[in-house]
Amino acid sequence: MITDTIQETHRIYKFEVETDDVGYGKQCRRARKYHAMIDDRVAMLADPVALYEKIKTNFETASAGSEAGMSMIAGQVELDIALKRKCQCESDCVCTWAGQLTEGQRTRLQAYKNIWKKKFGMKAEADKRAFFHLNDNPKYRCVWSGQKGCFPTIRRGMGPVWSAYHKRPVMASELLTSMGWHVSPGSAAAVGVPFVPFNTDMHLHRLVGNAMHLANVTAVMAAILACTPKTPGPTLDTADALVAAFNAFAH
């Protein structure tokens, strides 16, 4: 609707993006993004969509992990603190992650397991690729990692994303890792960027769920800015320099 309204006065660039484009196969997030420029105001140096495709090509051999299971990096201390915060039983009881699920979530988890075994020929508990959105009913639609082994779209208020193999929900820090955010000093240092500080697990959960993958958005914005002239205008080498920077980041 928006593109129909402004297409006579604007140049519209359409980007078809996936997380695999920029080295993140841990999350399945196909998206379409648009950029509009007033037609007679800016003479673009190059086509930003073509530059995005060039960035994508440079990432074909680089990957930040091809399966959701590679995001399961929470340490035992973080897990113990998170479980203690959620546990509602008396002080002398033994808390478990399964014990924190509602009756409806436990029913849906079992249904997911049954469908997984029938569809893929192995128990979900033995498969590191098996992740389920427990607030979505598999009776109507399976919102899961599937055979590809990547997280479906992360949504705010979606409830727990359950790892059958780890027998626990995915931590907020792990979901953010799959979305391209570096929430631990170790992962940030590995790629040479500042890590995202957080105060509590709830603080992390507030950052999760807008369904926009950081690396995808960054790549699109970088391609647009590299092709947009400044005063004085940049040289045509800017786009090549940007691709080189992305390529270095991937390694």
pLDDT in tens, 223-233: 999 998 875 54
Q: Determine the structural domain holding residue 226 and report its residue range.
A: 2-64+213-250
**Strand 161-163 and strand 168-169: pairing?**
antiparallel
Residues 93 and 150 in one domain: yes
Domains: count for the chain: 2
Whether 158 is covered by a domain: the verdict is: yes
What residues contact residue 55 under an 8 Å CB cut-off, 6+ apart? 21, 22, 219, 222, 223, 242, 243, 246
Q: For residues 152 and 95, state if they share a domain.
A: yes
The pLDDT of residue 62 is: 61
Q: Which tokens go with 70?
A: 């590679």
Find out whether 112 and 132 touch, Cβ atoms under 8 Å.
Answer: yes
Pair (85, 133) in one structural domain: yes
Angstrom distance (rounded) from CA 156 to CA 153: 10
> Residue 117: inside a domain, yes or no?
yes
Indicate the pLDDT class of residue 169, thresholds 50, 70 and 90. Answer: very high
Sign of CA dihedral 67, 68, 74, 80: negative
Cβ within 8 Å of residue 193, ≥6 positions away:
182
- Whether pTM > 0.85 for this model: the answer is no
Mean pLDDT value across residues 180-202: 73
Query: 3-class DSSP state for residue 133?
Result: strand
Is 34 or 134 the better-scoring residue by pLDDT? 134
pLDDT of 137: 95
